[in-house]
Chain A
Amino acid sequence: MNPATCASTRRATSPQARRFNRISSRIIAALFMLAGAAAADCASAAEPATQPDAARRSELITLVRQDCGSCHGLTLKGGLGPALLPEALHDKPADSLKATILQGRPGTAMPPWRRFLTEAEADWIVTNLQKGFPSD
């Protein structure tokens, strides 16, 4: 993650909160939490992220399809958890999505996956979810 991305994420927080204002105070609270988490990531993410290699990518695909799929569906069209298809995620800030994966969403059923994923792996998952996740 480079500093420019971090800065733009912080600037984007306020308009996002305004956009979601009508929906519910819970969503707004969650957004602020995510923005805070993204900012914290920025402070610590000094070294460049390494891309997962082919073998690890294959494991990540299984993890997302099968284990995230427990709640979000094998085809990622949603279940107990929301859909993770490109049309649902493409306009969401990547840093917020990454923070949700790594840290979970307190107060919901979304658990933190930090124990099992590096920052770079979470980045790779977010990038691929936003453009259409590979099948295998």
Chain B
Amino acid sequence: MKPLQFVKTALLAAVLALAGCTAPALRGTGDLGVVIERASGTVQIVDTTQLKSIATVPGLGDLSHASLVYSRDGRYAYVFGRDGGLSKVDLLKGVVERRIIQAGNSIGGAVSQDGSLIAAQNYAPGGVKVFRADTLELLADVPAEYGAQGQRSKVVGLADAPGNRFVWSLFDAGEIWVGDFSDPRAPRIDKYRNAGREPYDGMITPDGRYYLAGLFGEDGMAMLDMWHPEKGLRRILDGYGKGQEKLPVYKMPHLRGWAVAGKYAYVPAIGRHEVLVVDTETWKEAGRIAVAGQPVFVMARPDGRQVWVNFAFPDNGSVQVIDVETRSIVKRLEPGRAVLHMEFTPRGESVWISARDDNRVVVYDTASFAQRVVLPAAAPSGIFFTTRAGRTGF
């Protein structure tokens, strides 16, 4: 009997070992991210520890100007496509779990404080739509109607705010709206008019208190204190161009909470090759830094020691690094042609940069500026890491 028992034990061990091979390895998502491949309608799921791509997910439609937000558990990415597609991508399985077409022309979205709601900001038809995060069921549709004839405005600068609120700006109307979605099927909308001409994007500070809209049509920004919305809008950085003629802008800048490093916010000047430094206690200009072109993304490293800047066409082949103590450029990098986006790893030891026309993503060490790895990607644009899941305004 003893030999037979041995065979049985061996067989059982073999079966268990095989089962172990086929079951997926358990893993977290905290070091994962998504790279948008804008021309092919695919996204890559990347591992920022292993420095590699772990999956490619197809079928996401028109991803020009695509952006995404994460579920609060960091497992799902909600990808907003230009074609109005809203896709829920499972990072662990590498599949599109759900997908709807929610508008004709969309530009991005936000996730509510409690993670239960996904809001989409749309150009056409202009407005904001709010969905259940789990099922993508439509809960609220808020058309961006303005003026006597009820025209529809394009919506830009959508951000989440504490209290399951969303804040957004109306490009054509020059207004800022705040929606309280505590009761998502019956939102309460407050409208702030005369925000200024052509808000192009908006951001909320990392603490969720101040919403800022950048203005394309005027030199300045509109600000709303979310603790005291009853005080109305305040204009900051008014007239920073000092009446000088603007340089042409070949790509609109982008704003997010990454602008804040320490007590200062670093924002792109419109039509000027400058980064403006704003004191977030007084909201007055504290300085300006000359850079190599029209800034598009001005992003603080998570520890706030450096601010990285990329540029609009035709200066979009380089990236500059500002040291915040000296407010000087300490490094200029050339990751490739048409640098579209940058994303820091959770604690900022590395930055991932997309170079669209060289079909690659370049990862740099942010202390030594050495290249860590170059990954192939088809016309990469946005890079989004799951750290965003826990941050207000992302």
Contacts and interface: CB of A to CB of B under 8 A. Distances in A.
Interface stretch (B22-30, B160-168, B243-251, B280-288): B243-251
A13 interface: no
Interface of A: 62, 66-67, 69-71, 73-75, 77-80, 104, 109, 111-112, 115-116
| Chain A binding surface, main DSSP class | loop
Given A66-B356, A109-B198, A77 B105 contact: yes
B250 A74 contact: no
Contacts of B82: 73-75, 77, 79
A102 to B, nearest CB: 12
Contacts of B177: none
Interface of B: 38-39, 62, 64-65, 82-83, 105, 107, 123-124, 154, 156, 171, 198, 200, 216, 248-252, 313-314, 338, 356-357, 379
A80 B338 CA distance: 20
A79 B38 CA distance: 15
A104 B356 CA distance: 25
11 contacts: A66-B379, A70-B250, A70-B313, A73-B62, A73-B64, A75-B62, A77-B82, A80-B154, A111-B250, A112-B248, A116-B314
B105 A109 contact: no
A80 B123 contact: yes
A75 B38 CA distance: 11
A94 B55 CA distance: 46
A101 to B, nearest CB: 12
B65 A79 contact: yes
Q: Which 6 A-B pairs have the closest CB atoms?
A: A74-B64, A111-B248, A70-B251, A67-B313, A111-B250, A69-B64
Contacts of B107: 79
Given A73-B82, A79-B107, A111 B64 contact: no
Contact of B105 (A62, A66, A73): A73
B250 to A, nearest CB: 6
B252 A66 contact: no
Given A80-B123, A109-B216, A74 B39 contact: yes
Nearest to A72: B64
A115 B314 CA distance: 10
Nearest to A75: B62
A78 B64 CA distance: 11
Contacts of A77: 82, 105
Contacts of A66: 338, 356-357, 379
A109 B338 CA distance: 20
A136 to B, nearest CB: 9
A70 B65 contact: yes
Given A73-B64, A74-B38, 9 more contacts: A66-B338, A70-B65, A71-B252, A73-B105, A75-B62, A80-B252, A109-B216, A109-B252, A111-B250
A102 B314 CA distance: 15
A79 B64 CA distance: 10
A70 B65 CA distance: 7
B250 A78 contact: no
B109 to A, nearest CB: 15
A112 B249 CA distance: 9
B249 A109 contact: yes
A75 B64 contact: yes
Contacts of A70: 65, 250-252, 313
A67 B250 contact: yes
B39 to A, nearest CB: 7
Contacts of A116: 314
A121 to B, nearest CB: 15
Nearest to A135: B39
A130 B82 CA distance: 22
Residue among B82, B83, B107 having the largest count of chain A Cβ atoms under 10 Å: B82
Contact of A79 (B105, B250, B357): B105
Contacts of A111: 248-250
Nearest to B124: A78
A66 B156 CA distance: 20
B386 to A, nearest CB: 26
B158 to A, nearest CB: 14
A19 to B, nearest CB: 20
Given A73-B82, A109-B249, A112-B248, A78 B105 contact: yes
B218 to A, nearest CB: 12
A75 B248 CA distance: 23
A62 to B, nearest CB: 7
A75 B104 CA distance: 13
